[in-house]
Amino acid sequence: MIGVMFVCLGNICRSPMAEGAFRKHVEAAGLGAHFRILSSGTAGYHVGEAPDPRAQKTALGHGVDISMLRGRQLVKEDLASFDYVVAMDRSNWTNIQKLYKRGHTAKTSMLLEELPDAGTTEVPDPYYGGDAGFEHVWSLVDRAGARLLARLRRAHGL
């Protein structure tokens, strides 16, 4: 099973949306049995909380229900139990690297490495903005999730 962990700061906006979008692509391809998909935050501000209502509304508007997800904090053991740990921005990536220890096998990356045409390397945090910011984030994580799945399918012969 291929483990993919999406990471943002609080695990209530960007990473749950990325998890939902990626899961949508995985399930549409009939590959659900091949993947373990989760999201987390580098900070523990929202552990146990549902995603931001605006993130839920945006995802649901695209046919993806993320209401059952709950915030969790990234822990060093995740870097040993997931194959891919995917950050939303440079700060998240830096915090992931602080947890990284010798012997961990997770490949770490920034999600928007999948979208070189996006004009940015970071998924912006929509928390302090309005609905348009959440729609923009959905557009980015949805397109990047599709490309990530295509890359992982090639890498794992799926």
Residue in 13, 14, 52, 72 annotated catalytic: 14
Question: What is the residue type of 44?
Answer: G
What are the beta bridge partners of residue 84?
4, 107
**Order of strands, edge to edge, in the sheet holding 2-8?**
35-41, 2-8, 84-87, 107-110
Residues 11, 42 contacting (CB under 8 angstroms): no
Residue 3: enclosing H or E segment and its boundaries? Answer: strand 2-8
The active-site residue out of 52, 78, 89, 125 is: 125
Residue partners of 56: CB distance under 8 A and separation at least 6: 50, 65, 66, 67
Helices 53-61/14-28 angle, 10° precision: 20
Annotated catalytic residue 13: no
**Is 125 labeled as catalytic in the residue annotation?**
yes
* Residue 8 designated active-site: yes
Which among 8, 13, 52, 54 is annotated as catalytic?
8
Q: Which two tokens stand for residue 135?
A: 């729609």
**Active site amino acids:** 8, 14, 125
